């Protein structure tokens, strides 16, 4: 049973518009959440993170929102650029997961010029 789920396998957005990538989790013990970005034939790279004591974290064009009651987080990219086209993974850690980072299945974002 996947504890971290990204229900949209793909998302297509026009350049300049907002991209919203969603992630749901089931383990209420998770207390730290991260987003990673992956280009083809490369390893994932860290994008942004948020602790459960916050509900928002912003870094330039990227903002992560956390709704603990709904066990839901989202990544907003504004404005979207063609270079943002990649696979995005959300991940969670904490509680009884200890040193393990649990990843979602990924969402492929395509930003069209």
- Is residue 62 near other proteins by the rule CB under 8 A? no
Q: How far apart (Å, rounded) are the C-alpha atoms in residues 94 and 14?
A: 36
Q: Which is nearer to other proteins, 15 or 31 (CB)?
A: 31
Four-point Cα dihedral 34, 61, 80, 25, nearest 10:
20
- Is residue 89 near other proteins by the rule CB under 8 A? yes
32: β partners: 51, 93
The binding track of 19-48 with respect to other proteins, each residue x by CB under 8 A or -, is -------------x-x-x----xxxxxx--
- Is residue 57 near other proteins by the rule CB under 8 A? no
- Is residue 109 near other proteins by the rule CB under 8 A? no
Q: How far apart (Å, rounded) are the C-alpha atoms in residues 39 and 84?
A: 9
Tell me the closest approach of the beta carbon of residue 14 to other proteins, in angstroms.
26
3-state SS, residue 110: strand
Q: How far, in Å, are 28, 40, 70, 83 from residue 45 at the CA level? A: 26, 12, 27, 14
3-state SS, residue 21: strand
The correct pick among 8, 22, 52, 102 for binding other proteins (CB under 8 A) is 102
Rule CB under 8 A: which residues touch other proteins? 2, 4, 6, 9, 32, 34, 36, 41-46, 49, 89, 91, 93-94, 99-106
């Amino acid at each position: 049973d996947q504890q971290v789920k990204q229900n949209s396998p793909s998302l297509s957005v026009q350049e300049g518009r907002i991209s919203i990538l969603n992630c749901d989790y089931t383990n209420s013990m998770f207390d730290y959440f991260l987003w990673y970005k992956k280009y083809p034939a490369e390893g994932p790279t860290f994008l942004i993170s948020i602790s459960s004591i916050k509900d928002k974290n912003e870094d330039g064009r990227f903002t992560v929102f956390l709704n603990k009651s709904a066990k839901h987080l989202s990544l907003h990219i504004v404005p979207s650029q063609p270079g943002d086209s990649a696979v995005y993974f959300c991940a969670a850690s904490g509680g009884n997961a200890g040193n393990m980072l649990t990843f979602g299945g990924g969402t492929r974002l395509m930003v069209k010029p």
